[in-house]
Amino acid sequence: MSNATQSSSWTSFLKSIASFNGDLSSLTAPPFILSPTSLSEYSQYWSEHPDLLIEPNFLLLTEGADKSEEEAMALKRMIAVTKWFISTLRSQYCSRSETMGSEKKPLNPFLGEVFVGKWSDESKEGKLGETVLISEQVSHHPPVTGYAIYNKKNNTVLQGYNGIRATISTTSINVKQYGHAILEYKDLNESYLITLPPLHIEGLITAAPFVELEGTSFIQASNGLIATVDFTGRGYFSGKKNTFKARIFRDKLSSGNKTNALVTAAGQWSGKSYIGKGSEAPSKGELFYDAHNTEAEHLIVKPIEEQHDLEARKAWQKVAEAIKKSDYDMIHQEKSLIENNQRELRKKEEEAGSKWETRWFDNVDYVASEDLNDPFTNLTNLASLSIHNAPSGSLKSSKYDKGDAKHWRVNFTKWENEAEIKI
């Protein structure tokens, strides 16, 4: 496709989304803006730094520790979890624009699509162990991906789900992320709830879209500590892109005033950030995280020829190849084959009065649940967050604190009994 033709197609696409009424995730994008990667693969970005994910397991008390040491070590672990969370952002939200020149629209996973893999232990001492990812598209309308990342050696589990709602404004696409993550360090008897920030896609006018985070993410620990991570981007006239301030507080009550912060980390989540005591945002001093000086450890995935037909890279192989070759006729042809096959499956299910059964994840109703010791229930209470299906980070008694309270949870028994798809 020539530059003139692509420019014309881009202009037509902008006009179509400007007049589109509904959820933009269902809108068909022009081939030149498509990524060769399915959205189901994005779950891997949660653990491209497995050492940071596992690190809190090694921040232990000395024998006979007093209360002050307990509090200091709890704070160290919260700082470590916050650092891990910041380490996930560059891969999740910058990696496509860095490698492909601009943000691309991922392929919409089909219902039942899966993506699995592992990270081997790269530590010299062998203390990390193997870390495994399982990911499944649990809903197509709306699109929702469930995922779990576990490390048996260190008895650590991260699980969650992610869905999006996208709308258009004058110059950007606004995206509300639905879902959350729960991180459990079972040997420490400690858990963390992580909410997802809103984001927007900028650079539409210049045909070079990129992601910018906004709003707030919360990290609530079972020991009471809470981190508020506030995101801001580059303003029209000033500021740096991808900036954040992460303040850690003793509890939810004290977080109402930023001067109560125990420590503050600040900088660019796609670059360098610094940390210091108190509420002031440091611009130099002790390095918190350097995204450019920490290589991501990429997931190990089976060769495509050994994969199941439902695995993302095998299912989308021909589409991905066509995208890389800019063969737009082939993209349309191969995508249509997958989409038409899915429509036929849904039609047969409807005729048979059956429903697609998820493979490794269950839809848990927290209103009907009688498990009062569930980490999610305890953590949302500590953070005063809504348990309902609402934009992430919604507070109790807010306008979003309504509806059902169904959330996707991994079922490891189903995974252990899996007969067809193995790592």
In this predicted model, what pLDDT tens digit does every residue of 51-105 receive, in sequence order?
A: 999 999 999 988 988 999 999 999 999 999 999 999 999 988 886 666 666 678 8
Tens digits of residue pLDDT in 358-368: 999 999 999 88
Nearest CA to 181 among 349, 408, 389?
Answer: 408
Q: Measure the CA–CA gap between 158 and 58, rounded to whole angstroms.
A: 17
For the chain, what percentages of helix, strand and coil (3-state, to nearest 5) are there?
A: 30, 30, 40
Q: Measure the CA–CA gap between 53 and 131, rounded to whole angstroms.
A: 10
Q: What is the pLDDT of residue 352?
A: 94
- Cis amide leading into 303 (omega within 30): no
Nearest CA to 136 among 107, 111, 108?
Answer: 111
**Is 4's pLDDT higher than 60?**
no
Q: What angle do CA 346, 348, 350 make, to 5 degrees?
A: 70
Q: What is the pLDDT of residue 122?
A: 85
**Given pLDDT bands bounded at 50, 70 and 90, which one contains residue 348?**
very high
Q: Which two tokens stand for residue 9?
A: 């197609």
Average pLDDT of span 377-383? 95
Q: What is the pLDDT of residue 175?
A: 80
- Rg for the chain, CA atoms, rounded: 22
**Could you give phi then psi for residue 414, rounded to 5 degrees?**
-65, -40
Nearest CA to 194 among 25, 370, 375, 398?
Answer: 375
Q: How far is CA 306 from CA 29, 61, 118, 303, 358, in A?
A: 31, 45, 15, 5, 22
Q: What angle do CA 83, 43, 374 make, to 5 degrees?
A: 75
Tens digits of residue pLDDT in 123-165: 888 899 999 999 999 998 889 999 999 999 999 999 999 998 8
Burial (CB count within 10 angstroms: exposed 0-12, middle 13-18, buried 19+), residue 125 = exposed
Q: What is the pLDDT of residue 206?
A: 63
Nearest CA to 290 among 131, 122, 52?
Answer: 52
**Given pLDDT bands bounded at 50, 70 and 90, which one contains residue 188?**
very high
Q: Measure the CA–CA gap between 245 and 240, rounded to whole angstroms.
A: 13
Q: Measure the CA–CA gap between 164 and 167, rounded to whole angstroms.
A: 10
Q: What is the pLDDT of residue 423?
A: 86
Q: Which two tokens stand for residue 360?
A: 């490794």
CATH code for residues 3-209 = 1.10.287.2720
Average pLDDT of span 295-315? 96
**Is 370's pLDDT higher than 90?**
no
Q: Which two tokens stand for residue 293?
A: 């000086």
More confident residue, 125 or 338: 338
**Given pLDDT bands bounded at 50, 70 and 90, which one contains residue 328?**
confident
Average pLDDT of span 195-224? 85
Q: What is the pLDDT of residue 149?
A: 98
Q: What is the pLDDT of residue 339?
A: 92
Torsion, CA 413, CA 38, CA 201, CA 102, rounded to 10? 140
Q: What is the pLDDT of residue 342?
A: 94
% of the chain at pLDDT higher than 90: 68
**Could you give phi then psi for residue 154, rounded to 5 degrees?**
-110, 10
Encode burial over 286-307: b for 16+ CB neighbours within 10 A, e otherwise. eebbebeeeebbebebbeeeeb
Q: What is the pLDDT of residue 236?
A: 47
**Given pLDDT bands bounded at 50, 70 and 90, which one contains residue 237?**
very low
User: 404 near 388, Cβ under 8 Å?
Assistant: yes
Q: What is the pLDDT of residue 422?
A: 86
The pLDDT mean for the chain works out to 89
Q: Measure the CA–CA gap between 137 and 108, rounded to whole angstroms.
A: 10
Q: What is the pLDDT of residue 322?
A: 94
Average pLDDT of span 24-35? 66
% of the chain at pLDDT higher than 70: 86
User: 96 near 90, Cβ under 8 Å?
Assistant: no
Encode burial over 1-11: b for 16+ CB neighbours within 10 A, e otherwise. eeeeebeebbe
Q: Which two tokens stand for residue 162?
A: 């992610």
Highest mean pLDDT among 176-180, 317-321, 325-329, 389-393: 317-321
Tens digits of residue pLDDT in 239-293: 688 999 999 999 999 999 999 999 999 999 999 999 999 999 998 999 999 999 9
